A and B are shown apart, each in its own frame.
Chain A
Amino acid sequence: MGDDQRYKDRVELLQGTLDMMILRTLRWGPQHGHGVGQAIRASSQDVLQIERGSLYPALHRLERQGWIESEWKITENKQRAKYYRLTRTGRKQLVSEESRWNRLVKAVGHVMRPA
């Protein structure tokens, strides 16, 4: 795949969407950064490949905002890994982001396919 092709296939994320997806992914339990990236990729059927340059800043930003918190754990392979977990305010944030997202999807839908 040439550079041009890759560029065309890339889906530009709306502002804030990545944050919402990270929060959503963490609903199923603590996860490290790589895991979060893989989960988003898998559930989007390989459409969304989050770059590390976006993912890690987003994780650190969410942590600073208090929506997620982190903990260092030792994995089965005896490696030190940083696990992120949703906080209570993070859960609330997710709910409000989801409803905002749903409204947006609906609205965009109306615009694209007028009844």
Chain B
Amino acid sequence: MKLWQRILALIQRPRILRRKQNEQDLEDELRFDLVQEAELRIQRGEPPESARASAHRDFGNLMLVKEATRNMWGWTSLERLAQDTRFAWRMLKRNPILTLVAIASLAIGIGANTAIFSLVDTILLKSLAVRDPDQLRLVLWTGKPRIPQHTGSGYTTTLHGIEVSSSFSYPMYKLLAASVPQFSDLMGFTHSEVTVVAAGESHYASAMFVTGNFFRGLGVNPILGRMLSPDDDRAAAPGVAVISYAYWERRFGLDPTVVGQGVTINGWPVSIAGVVPPSFLGEVPGQSRDFFLPIVHVSAFGPTAYALAKEDHWWVQIMGRLRTGVSDRQVRAALDVVMDRAGASYPQNPAHKRDPWRAVLEAGAGGVPLVREQAAGPLFILSSVVALVLLISCANIANLLLARGAARRREIAVRLSIGAGRGQRVLRQLLTESLLLAGLGAAIGLTFASPLARAILTMTTRNEPLNFDVHVDLRTLLFTAAITLVTAVIFGLAPAFRATCVDLTPALKDGPAGAAGMARQLRLSRLLVISQVALSTLLLAGAGLFVRTLINLTTMDPGFDPRQLLIFTVDGSRSGYQGRKLLDLYEQIRAAIGAIPGVQAVTLSDVPLIGDSMSNSDIRVPGYIPKAGEFAKTYQMAVGGDFLTTMGIPILLGRDLDDHERPSGPYVAVVNEKFARSYFAGRNPIGRIFYFGQSPTPAAEDTIQIVGVCKNAKYDNLKHEIPPTAYLSYLQNSGPGGMTFEIRTALPPMAIASSVRRAVAGVDRNVPVAAMRTQEEQIRLSLSMECAFAALVGSFGSIAAVLAAIGLYGVMAYAVTRRTAEIGIRMALGAVRGDVQWMVLRESLVMVVIGITMGIPAALALTRLVRQAFYGIEPNDPASFVAAGALMLSVGTLAAWIPALRAARLDPMHALRHE
């Protein structure tokens, strides 16, 4: 029959009817054969009775003949699959509790793995939504002298063992763009926060400053209006901007007349030229930009550090598109010629070593890997954790199936003995059941994979929300299908093979003679339980380490008093204030807030405490001789008057900075104990001088006199060691930018939030307030990753422990059932209930203890790999391991208690009659 005929036949007659008809025909055909044969034999003179019998005997196995013939029917494999599936469904329905447990644990395992995979895929593997992303290269550089980096998304990192930097000066970018024709476009960019005034309302936004060829080079086309062009990137060109789709939606409600509208960015008028498609968010996947502006205007309304003309300000990041047929090596060679020359002539202290500057190329398909690098570690931990959970569910289900396989020994033995084709059919049947289980688990798992992935993303990045569109796409579905298949094979295969290797005779008798097979099967079950316990212990130990880390961090004394503090950020420098006027603005805001009832003190600092931002500098301290290769360094913070007192950082010697520090100097600082100990070795530092930078003739503003010493306090991050820190007066800062205000109040801090907003607006309504929260919330946010990990690994660890307990319970309950007779005999011979109970319990505890002793070394080995995720504890923290072991032991005991009790309650007479 041709395919189309078959399809036609299928349409004409419902499959199930046709199948029944075929079966009937086959039956008739073979019956007819038997009748003919018998008649033939009668004709040859056999008596009718024996003729029929011998015909039957010589015919062979009717079932086998049918099976072999059916095999020729084509499409029967499909039909058989349907049949197997129906049968599997019936079997699963027969054991609803087992099935529910299996499906639930698979759903958790597969769902969690799918969720983490979709995160890995979105964050680590996706390419930018641009034309031919594989042609893109990020240009980085290495060599000496190294130059401090000034840029938003610029970074210094170690790549293949060498230290590389991402940023160039604008003149250097221009030089490279002009001398390396192997790139069809070499694009420069940076990003910065800006203040936008649109429709009379002001807010902060994230802006990207790009060279005119940026969108052309990437191949990103406008969804509305036009993109920026090289014409816009001329100093004389009028100010234009391109906005992101999200910003268009948020601020303009997707109004198509947005093109041509004017907004004010950092006080400069700019007109909107077009809208970027929603697929392109910016250069760093995970971060989204609202504005794209020509880089040529960066000096006008970008941060002061981004100076177009200055050779020593390195802030431009570079990405190029390779021309087709050009190799990385060729491009590098061309870049190196320029870099080498520039590096050789760059001014440097002659005492320091020079290394030729070299270009380093990195794949640009994934954009600037800033978020990616931070996410890789946590994602690695989460992937391992969910993989372990899935492994545990596999072991669990293998065990449940094994136990049930044993219960089905008779059924399977019967099917094998009546000739179910060489065991393959039975094997296939059992694997179909596994696949059905795994498939149902996967289907349920998929329903919560996306929300789980999004929840994990939000939980871990509450500090700095990332913009990733996480959803289950085709790639994720393929991944899920693959793990489902692998899972089904892992947990289904062992029990299936065990089941089909039945020794038929004893299995059919189902008596004590089957005990040898029983013992074998129990051994396998025990092995599975032990490995489950081991893996769960591993997860619990990991969870313990994360929980202890979180406890250490939340209970530590940060060195200041974070209670009763409200903080918020403003940046007047982006609203047209500069220099003296900016300082006046901040002091006016301070005064306005200070007048609010309930406010005890107001101060400000250039960065918030525990805000993950910091600045540090080389210093020179007369009388202090650094060790070879070491530079004296200090962290610095520009603060307002009474900062230390307001924050609750005790002054040990001298005085706090006050409101009367003069902009013209003398320049003063309060240093912390660590600073004093490091650079003054116990001598009184009050009145002493240190210098910023290495210059032998330092400028007046780099010459700092120490007026006080304060206690050590945490600076940018609770996890970091407290560094030598100098608190400088922001009033003496020549170019201040945004500031964080700290308000100490007797009221609940958020209760004064709206009064504070009104106070700021009362000074200038074009200066927006951002990041208003309590200092305690600020600390909580900084710990969001640690919180999330303690919660996630803790939950997965608990799930694992519960699964292991179910596995243990299943095995022991089964063992007790199988040993009912033995227990009866023991009791008849005088064993008391306590003995029986202890016997069962002891068996379980042996498994649990073996599992724990295997899990702990594994945990020791694995947690070492992720030691940087922990704080205040060693990865071999005894408390966590003891707690994990104890928890596992008690869960295990609980699980074994029920079968032990049941064994002890057996009525000996009843038990003896059990067989």
Contact = CB atoms under 8 A, between A and B. Distances in A.
Contacts of B25: 72, 82
A82 B28 contact: yes
Interface in B52-68: 59-61, 64-65, 68
A32 B65 contact: no
Given A52-B65, A53-B68, A82-B25, A60 B73 contact: yes
Nearest to B29: A82
A51 interface: yes
A38 B37 CA distance: 9
A83 B177 CA distance: 84
A80 B32 CA distance: 8
Given A56-B69, A57-B69, A64 B33 contact: no
A79 interface: yes
A66 interface: yes
Given A34-B37, A38-B40, A56 B68 contact: yes
A35 B39 CA distance: 12
Contacts of B60: 51-53
A32 B30 contact: no
Given A53-B61, A80-B28, A82-B25, A34 B72 contact: no
B32 A81 contact: yes
Contacts of B71: 57
B482 interface: no
A52 B61 CA distance: 9
B65 A34 contact: no
B72 A53 contact: no
B299 interface: no
A33 interface: yes
Contacts of A56: 29-30, 65, 68-69
B43 to A, nearest CB: 12
B74 interface: yes
A43 B122 CA distance: 72
B213 to A, nearest CB: 65
B35 interface: yes
B36 interface: yes
B534 to A, nearest CB: 50
A79 B69 contact: no
A61 interface: yes
B1 interface: yes
B32 A53 contact: no
A79 B32 contact: yes
Contacts of B72: 57, 60-61, 64
Contact of B59 (A38, A52, A57, A82): A52
Interface centre among A33, A35, A60, A66 (most CB of B within 10 A): A60
Interface in B22-48: 25, 28-30, 32-33, 35-37, 40
Contacts of A34: 32-33, 36-37
A68 to B, nearest CB: 12
A32 B74 contact: no
Contact of B29 (A33, A38, A57): A33
A79 B33 contact: no
A57 B32 CA distance: 16
Contacts of B30: 52, 56
A35 B30 CA distance: 12
B32 A82 contact: yes
Given A33-B33, A51-B60, A66-B1, A57 B68 contact: yes
Interface centre among B1, B29, B32, B74 (most CB of A within 10 A): B29
B19 to A, nearest CB: 14
Contact of A64 (B28, B36, B59, B73): B73
Interface string B1-36: 100000000000000000000000100111011011
Interface in A16-61: 32-35, 37-38, 51-53, 56-57, 60-61
Contacts of B36: 32, 34-35
Contacts of A64: 1, 72-74
B69 to A, nearest CB: 4
Contacts of A79: 32, 35
A20 B68 CA distance: 19
Contacts of A61: 72
B78 to A, nearest CB: 15
Nearest to B64: A53
A66 B6 CA distance: 13
A96 B386 CA distance: 61
A81 to B, nearest CB: 5
Contacts of A53: 60-61, 64-65, 68
Interface centre among A34, A35, A51, A66 (most CB of B within 10 A): A34
B775 to A, nearest CB: 80
Contacts of A52: 30, 33, 59-60, 65
A74 to B, nearest CB: 11
A38 B43 CA distance: 14
Interface in B72-122: 72-74
Interface in B194-231: none
A64 B1 CA distance: 6
A57 B33 CA distance: 14
Nearest to A37: B33
Contacts of A32: 29, 32-33, 36
Interface in A70-105: 72, 79-82
A35 to B, nearest CB: 8
Contacts of A35: 36
A41 to B, nearest CB: 11
A102 B65 CA distance: 31
A13 to B, nearest CB: 15
A42 B43 CA distance: 16
Contacts of A72: 25
B407 to A, nearest CB: 33
B22 to A, nearest CB: 10
A82 B74 CA distance: 19
A105 to B, nearest CB: 28
Nearest to B59: A52
Contacts of B69: 56-57, 60
Nearest to A54: B68
A57 B72 CA distance: 6
Nearest to A51: B60
A14 B285 CA distance: 66
A72 B72 CA distance: 19
Contacts of A57: 65, 68-69, 71-72
A59 to B, nearest CB: 8
CB-based closest 6 A-B pairs:
A60-B72, A34-B36, A56-B69, A34-B33, A61-B72, A57-B68
Given A34-B33, A52-B33, A56-B65, 19 more contacts: A32-B32, A52-B30, A52-B59, A52-B60, A53-B61, A53-B65, A56-B30, A57-B65, A57-B71, A57-B72, A60-B72, A60-B73, A61-B72, A64-B73, A79-B32, A81-B32, A82-B28, A82-B29, A82-B32
9 contacts: A32-B36, A33-B33, A52-B30, A52-B33, A53-B60, A56-B29, A56-B69, A64-B72, A80-B32
